[in-house]
Amino acid sequence: MKWYKQLAGITLLFSVFLSACSSGGEQTAEPQTATAIQDSTEATADQGQTLTVVTPSTIRQSTKDSGKYQIQTKLTDFQLLSDTVGIAWGLTRNELRLYMTEDNGKTWVNISPSSNVQFPANPRYGKDIYFTDPMNGWIVRDPAGMNETIVLHTSDGGQSWDVASIPQKEKVSALTFISPQRGWLMTTKDSTPGKELKVLYRTDDGGAEWNVVMQNTEYNPQKSSVTSPIPHLGYTLGLSFVDSKTGYAAVQELGDPKLYRTLDGGNKWSAGPEFFNKEKLKNCESYVSDNPLFFGSDHQSGYMPIGCKVGDTTKYNGYFTKDGGTTWNFVNFGLGKSGGLNQSLRPSFISASEGWALIDSVLYHTVDQGKTWSVVSDNQMIREMLQEYPEVVKLQFTSSKVGWMLVQNTEKKSSRLLQTIDGGVTWKVL
């Protein structure tokens, strides 16, 4: 079994990764001397969203204004970790700008890795970024033409980042952790149409070492020493684990969503459980899905979106489990179709019963697993915001009251992060 140790001194370039969360290119006053809020701009067509940034020492000392300064940045993604804690990020000149808030967006801490770490594309949560809690997080930098995948890890909330290297040059397709110690990383490479080579790595020490636990690059169904890998057929959508042993890989096979399951931490995989039934989704030109999202401390209840695409519209429904993914129940959401830029916007669920869906500018809410929906809001603020920023990048709720929504205007290279604290009735720019 291959294993790869942490390489803090791979090259002179990689050694600078170990620096504390330096953003490198931000033109702002030095935080240790900035006692008043100061303006900052970045080199984008739009001045971006204004964030009030504080130093970690300011947070610890609970001072009122010392160390505060303002930056303007274009955000490309976010993830809520709790009602009050969230992370948001974007790229500026291929440098990752990563920020964390612990007070519902009032102030932010710059937890970016060194600006010497260059990213070829915007990182996505669950693929390139993952946090188990506010202290423990990981960032993966794809090889982008080089021979190594870089994995950055923080255990102190982004004040410092350790670096590990996996000597492979394929793209990363999924990243997930079940605890601060155990996690998985999937790399893939297209082989022939509809098929891809898949390699699964696992860490049991927070990312210092990564072991190959599954690979199908040498897999031959007729004659192979590889035992029960995920087959070549199908494209990886994502990974989800219920516990340290049981996990699921979501795959799109010949256009249909499919699950593969492991019961030993990723070494052996088997097809199933079967859940997809075309008879329940008639007249679809194609289907879109995602990896399962599990809820609660026991991860027994879960949700998986399934979209029916016709032209440039998508109608979403859902599959739900209450036994850790062993069986799935289809629920017809009865919602309208999403179209245009937002046809891929999936409903957001916080449990197996409660969720939200945005169609056009109308926000819907369900408390019975999507069987019925009620209109939460169709207010002027959302309508006006979507006129200026027509694409909804992401909608996520973390409780019955708190949710975030990121909207953007690609042509103007601008975005805005919105927040609700009343279940979606009203929204404001963070």
The tens digit of pLDDT for each residue in 259-311 reads 999 999 999 999 988 999 888 888 899 999 999 999 998 999 999 999 999 99
Confidence (pLDDT) at 117: 84
Confidence (pLDDT) at 133: 97
What residue ranges of the chain have pLDDT lower than 50? 1-44, 222-225
The tens digit of pLDDT for each residue in 325-351 reads 999 999 999 999 999 999 999 999 999
Confidence (pLDDT) at 41: 40
The tens digit of pLDDT for each residue in 215-234 reads 987 655 544 445 689 999 99
Confidence (pLDDT) at 8: 38
Using alpha carbons only, what angle is made at residue 426 by residues 421 and 427, rounded to the nearest 5 degrees? 75
Q: Encoding tokens for residue 212?
A: 């190959």
Residue 238 Cα distances to 3, 86, 115, 156, 186, angstroms: 23, 22, 28, 27, 9
Confidence (pLDDT) at 66: 54
